[in-house]
Amino acid sequence: MREEFPILHEIVYLDSAATTQKPTSVIKSIEQAYKRSANVHRSAHRLARENTASFEDARNTVASFIGCNREEVVFTSGTTHGINLIAQTIPLTPKSIIICSELEHHANFVIWQQRAKQVGCTIKYIRVKNNGLDYEHAKELISQGCSVLAITHLSNVTGAVTDVTLLSSLVKKQGGLVIVDGAQAVAHLPVNVHDLGIDAYAFGAHKLYGPTGIGALFIRSSLAKTLPPFLYGGEMIEHVSVTETTFAQPPSRFEAGTPAIVQSIGFKAAIDWFTKNYSHSREQEIYAYVKKMLSTLPKIRIFTHPTSIACLSFVIEGVHVDDICAFLDSQNIAIRSGHHCTQPLHTSLGIPSSLRVSLGIYSTKEDIDACFLALQEAIQVLS
Ligand SMILES: Cc1ncc(COP(=O)(O)O)c(C=O)c1O
């Protein structure tokens, strides 16, 4: 399977949480699609009909991948767009209470913080405990009232997995909505949005071996039907006159303008490829290995939670994270340094930034060995 990623001959890539490499089958599907360009849902000629069928087929694939109906899948440009869409369209009033957490990526933090300011409502943040959510605090906050819970499924820093089913059952008792940021989880966990008992789930294709520029937002159909459009324009209407416009049913209502047609074909190819090739147990073995190896390094502080999978972060006392990252880069090893778009989490951990190793489907123990040896050398040279 690694032959599908020629770049892996050149570098050790341990930054898949930022974006994954794309297999040749996905790249080929994109190339083929560009050679047969035609817009969708408009013209009646053959090429347009074929592209419309491929676009809608991609929607079917996404729907079965996350366990929902095709009408419940809205194509977006990615996770960030999906969360903005749902945050701007659900009904909120000054009396609403939004609950978010300190574990969130800025895409699921800043959006809700700013939305709360816009509406003039309350927003509360679940604290972090042991590098995951503080569930006691979550229960306490939710029991005081919750209109919306916006929560990550899998932390992009500590790899902690959220017990979404537990939290959604608590929020439902309060009559609230549950919106989940699935950007990281879809590439590492089986996801069934109806089993999770949630109202919306956002993710993108590019962390799932697919193209950039496309993602999907699941919106529970009974909710979607009640929501207003997010963006206006072509394709999202039912009827337009000089005095009035009526809007299409979901998902079209939320898909104004020409969609990411080629990317949708690449998205489908990526899901098909991923479903065939992914092994959770293999990934878990490599994850246990990286944790074990890194824990033997001197002066290291590792941030993981008992539920963690797929990625972890760490700091080395006395050495700047950027210097370590640059040192590894000089040996063609790609890991991430910085705050990983999670400044509130880093503040609660008491550090400005960290290093992150994140796994992809192509990661091997040899990659971890190379990273470990380079880190050992970096510590010697830089401290
Ligand atoms: C947990 C999480 N949420 C949201 C995002 C935002 O994804 P995108 O930038 O693809 O919209 C990321 C990206 O790193 C992420 O890791």
What's the pLDDT tens digit per position in 238-250? 999 999 999 999 9
Ligand 1 mean position, distance from CA 183 (Å): 5
Which residues of the chain carry a pLDDT beneath 70?
none
What local confidence, expressed as pLDDT, does residue 3 receive?
93
Ligand 1 mean position, distance from CA 380 (Å): 34
Ligand 1 mean position, distance from CA 35 (Å): 30
pTM over 0.95: yes
Atom from ligand 1 closest to the CA of residue 104: 1
Q: Are 216 and 82 in contact (CB under 8 A)?
A: yes
What local confidence, expressed as pLDDT, does residue 221 receive?
98
Q: Which of 84, 151, 341 to mutate to test the pocket of ligand 1 (most atoms within 8 A of CB)?
A: 341
Amino acid sitting at position 242: V
Which residues surround ligand 1 with Cβ inside 6 Å?
17, 78-80, 105, 107-108, 152, 156, 181, 183-184, 204, 341
What local confidence, expressed as pLDDT, does residue 75 receive?
98
Q: Which of 85, 100, 156 to mutate to test the pocket of ligand 1 (most atoms within 8 A of CB)?
A: 156
What local confidence, expressed as pLDDT, does residue 68 receive?
98
What local confidence, expressed as pLDDT, does residue 47 receive?
94
Atom from ligand 1 closest to the CA of residue 206: 10
Q: Which of 15, 102, 105 to mutate to test the pocket of ligand 1 (most atoms within 8 A of CB)?
A: 105
List the catalytic residues. Answer: 341
Atom from ligand 1 closest to the CA of residue 77: 11
**Nearest alpha carbon to residue 90 among 14, 29, 177, 182:** 177
Ligand 1 mean position, distance from CA 175 (Å): 27
Q: Whose CA is nearest to atom 15 of ligand 1?
A: 183
Token reading at 155 = 């932390």
Q: Which domains, from first to last, does the chain contain?
A: 24-275 (3.40.640.10), 279-382 (3.90.1150.10)
What local confidence, expressed as pLDDT, does residue 331 receive?
98
Q: Are 230 and 89 in contact (CB under 8 A)?
A: yes
Phi, psi of 6, deg, nearest 5:
-55, -30
What local confidence, expressed as pLDDT, does residue 175 receive?
98
Atom from ligand 1 closest to the CA of residue 78: 11
What local confidence, expressed as pLDDT, does residue 42 receive?
87
Name residue, tokens 């500590």: 158
What local confidence, expressed as pLDDT, does residue 241 receive?
98
Ligand 1 mean position, distance from CA 80 (Å): 7
